[in-house]
């Protein structure tokens, strides 16, 4: 969604400038983008995020938005994989998709940012009983089956 927005609006360009460099976009900017997107008609029956929220502040802002709209978060799915495997997959993606932001240096930077700023989000949602772990070291088909079961239930 963020990458697709790069050409759509000024906010998308701003966010892309951060993520293309392996950084997180500022929380307020992200929330402005997310809330705008969630107000679109196709989100009325629900939505699935991949990689959001990335900070405790975003999680808190998102919870506030949900409470103001009488909505709730159903579940948080955490795909668990070993770091060497993540690096290998992202480097392969870089070759396949031609992604300039998937260099070894950028990937390592993202992993450091994840540990410092995003991993605490899991604890935030674990305290709410929302986190479901999925072993992402399985085959893609097995991971997909687990995700389907989680999303159906």
CATH topology of domain 4-152: Rossmann fold (3.40.50)
pLDDT in tens, 125-149: 999 999 999 999 999 999 999 999 9
Residue 83 backbone phi and psi in degrees, to 5: -55, -45
State the pLDDT confidence band at 66, using cuts at 50, 70 and 90: very high
pLDDT digits 0-9 by tens, 87-118: 999 999 999 999 887 899 989 988 998 999 99
Question: Based on the number of CB atoms within 10 Å of its own CB, is 107 exposed (0-12), middle (13-18) or buried (19 or more)?
Answer: buried
| Per-residue confidence (pLDDT) for residue 77, from 0 to 100 | 95
Positive or negative torsion for Cα 142, 146, 152, 153: positive
């Amino acid at each position: 969604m963020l990458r697709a927005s790069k050409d759509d609006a000024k906010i998308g360009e701003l966010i892309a400038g951060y993520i293309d460099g392996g950084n997180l976009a500022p929380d307020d900017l992200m929330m402005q983008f997310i809330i705008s997107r969630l107000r679109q008609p196709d989100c009325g029956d629900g939505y699935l995020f991949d990689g959001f929220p990335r900070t405790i502040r975003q999680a808190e802002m998102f919870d506030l938005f949900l409470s103001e709209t009488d909505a709730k978060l159903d579940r948080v799915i955490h795909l668990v994989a070993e770091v060497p495997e993540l690096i290998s997959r992202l480097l392969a993606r870089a070759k396949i998709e031609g992604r300039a932001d998937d260099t070894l240096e950028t990937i390592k930077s993202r992993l450091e940012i994840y540990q410092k700023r995003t991993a605490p989000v899991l604890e935030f949602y674990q305290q709410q009983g929302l986190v479901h772990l999925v072993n992402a070291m399985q085959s893609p088909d097995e991971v997909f089956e687990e995700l389907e079961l989680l999303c159906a239930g």
